């Protein structure tokens, strides 16, 4: 695998080594030794899969306390994946970063604790798998407003279109009012 550091401190795009033959393909999506060698020492306690219709927007989610590191990859379809640095001590506090992930490329995104995370499904029946480093906690859950102008996120929503949102995601807090990490 190849670990590619991204523009925000701690974010890493993992390009998995893919082996193909006439039967299909194979790649290791998680190898504790290889990830540790790349500087990612994570212990995962839960794995989740979401299934979304095109233009479903999930996020931007995070937990305080019980912050979660996330290893995100797409099993089917494609997503516009977004993270926001919510660590006040970070030189990148309040900055967002987006990457496209799809099922045809053997890639994962490592999102360390301290970031809000969300994505827009770009294809029907998009399936996203993510491992997390702490358990989900309803009491710790927070949502950052996906459309906060202060974040400057340019979601690829067709002109005149609108994302499909849960009530929780529709009511996210603006960065200026959001609870953040030290």
pLDDT band at 157 (very low <50, low <70, confident <90, very high): very high
Percent of the chain whose predicted confidence (pLDDT) is above 70: 100
Give CA–CA dist 87/113, Å, rounded.
9
The mean predicted confidence, pLDDT, of the chain is 97
When pLDDT is averaged across residues 123-152 and rounded to a whole number, the result is 97
What percent of the chain is modeled with pLDDT above 90?
100
Q: Residue 111 has what pLDDT? A: 98
In this structure, are residues 128 and 52 in contact, taking their beta carbons and an 8 Å threshold? yes
The verdict on whether 61 is a catalytic residue reads yes
Could you name the CATH architecture of 44-177?
Answer: Sandwich (2.60)
Q: What is the mean pLDDT of residues 150-178?
A: 97
**pLDDT tens digits, one per residue of 96-125:** 999 999 999 999 999 999 999 999 999 999
Using CA atoms, how far apart are residues 18 and 34, in angstroms rounded to an integer?
15
Q: How confident is the model at residue 164 (pLDDT cuts 50, 70, 90)?
A: very high
Pick the catalytic residue from 16, 61, 62, 117.
Answer: 61
- 37 Cβ contact partners less than 8 Å away, ≥ 6 residues apart: none
Q: Find the mean pLDDT for residues 15-19.
A: 95
Q: What is the pLDDT of residue 125?
A: 98
Q: Is 16 a catalytic residue?
A: no
Q: Sorting pLDDT into bands at 50, 70 and 90, what band is 174?
A: very high
Q: What average pLDDT does range 51-56 have in this prediction? A: 98
Catalytic residue among 105, 117, 130, 142: 130
Give the list of residues 6+ apart from residue 18 with CB closer than 8 angstroms, or none: 25, 26, 27, 106
Q: What per-residue confidence (pLDDT) applies to 34?
A: 95
- Give the mean model confidence (pLDDT) for residues 150-160: 96
């Amino acid at each position: 695998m190849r670990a590619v550091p991204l523009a925000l401190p701690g974010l890493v795009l993992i390009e998995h080594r893919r082996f193909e033959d006439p039967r299909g393909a194979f790649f290791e999506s998680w190898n504790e030794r290889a990830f540790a060698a790349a500087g990612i020492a994570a212990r995962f306690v839960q794995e989740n899969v979401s299934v979304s219709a095109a233009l479903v927007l999930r996020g931007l989610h995070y937990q305080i306390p019980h912050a979660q590191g996330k290893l995100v990859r797409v099993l089917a379809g494609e997503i516009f994946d977004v993270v926001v640095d919510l660590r006040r001590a970070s030189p990148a506090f309040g900055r967002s970063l987006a990457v496209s992930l799809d099922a045809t490329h053997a890639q994962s995104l490592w999102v360390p604790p301290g970031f809000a995370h969300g994505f827009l499904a770009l294809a029907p029946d998009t399936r996203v798998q993510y491992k997390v480093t702490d358990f989900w906690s309803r009491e710790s859950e927070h949502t950052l407003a996906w459309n906060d102008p202060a974040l400057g996120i340019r979601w690829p929503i067709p002109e005149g279109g609108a994302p499909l949102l849960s009530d929780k995601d529709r009511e996210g807090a603006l960065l200026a009012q959001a609870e953040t990490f030290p």
